[in-house]
Amino acid sequence: MSVWSIPIALLAFLAAGGSCPAGMLHQIATIPVPGAPFETYDVGVVDHGRYYMADRSNKSVDIFDLKTNTFISRIAGFAGVGPHGSSDSGPNAITVVHNGKEIWGTDGDSSVKVIDLKKGAIVDSISTGGSRRTHAGDYDPKDEVFLVGNDSDDPPFLTFISTKPGHKVLAKIPLPRATDGLETPVYDRASGMFYVTCRSSTRTRTKVGY
């Protein structure tokens, strides 16, 4: 069993929507994590008193209870650490969808995996058709659309996926000017648009719709 420490105080502040002055932060718990040594991970999110972590070491999304500071379970079935480093590793980013009912996790095989949290299992794997990982995404709850970027493909591209039953791929947008990859898409409720930072010799921010 490997043991690692997550900043529980910081997560509690974030879950409450508060700010975190540095002087107020201190470690209050250490959570044992079973399985392979916990050496590589990616994005974590807080929702409804739980912390979800993209755990590449165990090829899973790990679930923690922030009220009891305990490891609850993990959802396996991801790529883990790929042979070419981060470009084909996963899980990467994870996003809470449908008001806490699902987690959508990006993976090293150019797919987005849908976790049903009630069932505690991956219920769908949606290919974006790339040759490298899907990286980061965001969710439009109004139109029920998930946007994800393939930052390591040449050229990088974005994929719009419906979060309604069937998970239809709605559109793809190649971004040949993003010669140095893509950053995390962000959905803006006020405008109803997604915004993506495209990295190149000249940084640009792209507004995308479908």
pLDDT at 2 over 50: no
Cα 199 to chain centroid distance, Å, stands at: 19
Q: State residue 206's pLDDT score.
A: 55
Q: State residue 30's pLDDT score.
A: 83
Pick from 195, 189, 109, 95: which is nearest to 146 by CA? 95
Confidence of residue 208 (pLDDT cuts 50, 70, 90): low
Stretch (H or E) spanning 11:
helix 8-15
Q: State residue 9's pLDDT score.
A: 47
49-92: pLDDT as tens digits: 999 999 999 999 999 999 999 999 999 999 999 888 888 898 99
6-55: pLDDT as tens digits: 544 444 444 555 555 666 777 778 888 889 887 888 889 999 999 999 99
Bridge partners, residue 148, by sequence: 137, 159
94-126: pLDDT as tens digits: 999 999 999 999 999 999 999 999 999 999 999
Pick from 158, 107, 156: which is nearest to 133 by CA? 107
141-200: pLDDT as tens digits: 999 999 999 999 999 999 999 999 999 999 999 998 888 888 889 999 999 999 998 877
Three-class DSSP labels, 98-110: CCCCEEEEECCCC
Write out the two tokens for 4: 């690692």
Confidence of residue 207 (pLDDT cuts 50, 70, 90): low
Q: What is the pTM of this model?
A: 0.83
Write out the two tokens for 197: 């930072």
Bridge partners, residue 81, by sequence: none
Q: State residue 170's pLDDT score.
A: 97
Please state, in angstroms and rounded to a whole number, the distance separating the CA atoms of residues 127 and 109: 8
CATH code for the structural domain at 2-208: 2.130.10.10
Write out the two tokens for 104: 């959508």
Please state, in angstroms and rounded to a whole number, the distance separating the CA atoms of residues 149 and 135: 6
- Each domain of the chain, given as residue ranges in start order, spans 2-208
